[in-house]
Chain A
Amino acid sequence: MKLLIVDDSLVIRNKINSGLLKRFDKVLRAKNGVEAIEVVKLVRPDVITMDLTMPEMDGVECIQEVMKVCPSTHILVISALADKATAIAALSCGANGFLCKPFTQSQLTDAIEKVLAIQLSR
């Protein structure tokens, strides 16, 4: 399975990578929505972790684009925007889960397992 990590923070990309490396065969990274779409077109990842507040193209716009290109991809939003309206907006665009920053590695693992369970049940 392939994972794409989308976050404008290098430290957070590394943290997510180290937490999930063993769960996936291949892990790719993008620092904004524009880069992410390029990777999705080439690689078609099974799962994406998606930040929302990013330069170039924000996360919600990126999710909408991903859904056009690769609708079978499952998306876990990982964002500091902790309000209900943001979570609903992300989920209604096609995201499958929402994890609020700051997060621990165990919270990350739990959240990704829930998203994978949705994927495997289909």
Chain B
Amino acid sequence: MKHKKQIDIFIEGVKRYFDHLTFEEELLEIGAPYLVRNSERLGLDYTGAISITGDSKGYVFFSSTSPLLKYILLGHGASNFSEEYLGDIVGEIANTISGNARSHMGAEFHISPPKVIVGEINKYNMNLNSRSYVLPIRWRRNSAQLIVSLEENEQLL
């Protein structure tokens, strides 16, 4: 139950983020969440990583293909699609979704400033023996993922 509540909080955060982009109405698809082993290949083109401390420990990642990030940059009025901007926006999305989650997760849900990873994320301080859940996202025919790797997950597997 706690696990489902946590997933719902992050689904709400993803919806909220995409709702605020100044685009014509575009269907956001969030697929069914699924579990993956951290030892499997994880991560798309760019990933924003937020370290979580406090009552929960672990990471929240927003990982995306480059084309989807370019649309999001356009939604923010940016037309520079350089690596610097793609990395910046993927970090900001991870930060926004994680920060919004705090109002439901409680004041002891502490988030770090974002770090940006290009390519696979598996070597990013993750416990390779543990598992994470993935929320698959599709928007404007491109893919992204929210990957939640928090300690509580293990108790519910």
Which DSSP category, helix, strand, loop or mixed, fits chain B's interface? Answer: helix
In the complex, chain A residues whose CB is within 8 Å of the CB of B4: none
Q: How far is the CA of A18 from the CA of B21 in the complex (A)?
A: 15
> B interface, how many residues as a size bin?
20 to 34
In the complex, chain A residues whose CB is within 8 Å of the CB of B98: 80
Interface residues in A, total, Cβ within 8 A: 25
Q: Which of B16-32 contact A (CB under 8 A)?
A: 16-17, 19-22
Shortest Cβ distance from residue B139 to the other chain A in the assembled complex, whole angstroms = 14
In the complex, chain B residues whose CB is within 8 Å of the CB of A86: 102, 107
**Given A10-B88, A53-B113, also A103-B20 (CB < 8 A):** yes
Tell me if A109 counts as interface (CB < 8 A to partner B): no
Shortest Cβ distance from residue A42 to the other chain B in the assembled complex, whole angstroms = 25
Q: How far is the CA of A119 from the CA of B36 in the complex (A)?
A: 52
In the complex, chain B residues whose CB is within 8 Å of the CB of A83: 102-103, 106-107
Q: Which of B70-103 contact A (CB under 8 A)?
A: 73, 76-78, 84-85, 88-89, 91-92, 95-100, 102-103
Do the beta carbons of B96 and A84 come within 8 Å of each other? Answer: no
Do the beta carbons of B22 and A102 come within 8 Å of each other? Answer: no
Shortest Cβ distance from residue A122 to the other chain B in the assembled complex, whole angstroms = 31
Do the beta carbons of A80 and B20 come within 8 Å of each other? Answer: no
Tell me if A79 counts as interface (CB < 8 A to partner B): yes
Do the beta carbons of B92 and A11 come within 8 Å of each other? Answer: yes
Q: Which of B88, B96, B100 has the most CB of A within 10 A?
A: B96
Do the beta carbons of A80 and B99 come within 8 Å of each other? Answer: yes
**Given A102-B16, A103-B20, also A85-B96 (CB < 8 A):** no
In the complex, chain A residues whose CB is within 8 Å of the CB of B88: 9-11
In the complex, chain B residues whose CB is within 8 Å of the CB of A71: none
Tell me if A121 counts as interface (CB < 8 A to partner B): no
A-B contact pairs, 19 of them (CB 8 A): A9-B91, A9-B92, A10-B85, A10-B88, A11-B76, A11-B89, A12-B92, A14-B77, A14-B78, A15-B78, A53-B95, A53-B111, A80-B95, A80-B97, A80-B100, A86-B102, A102-B21, A102-B96, A103-B20
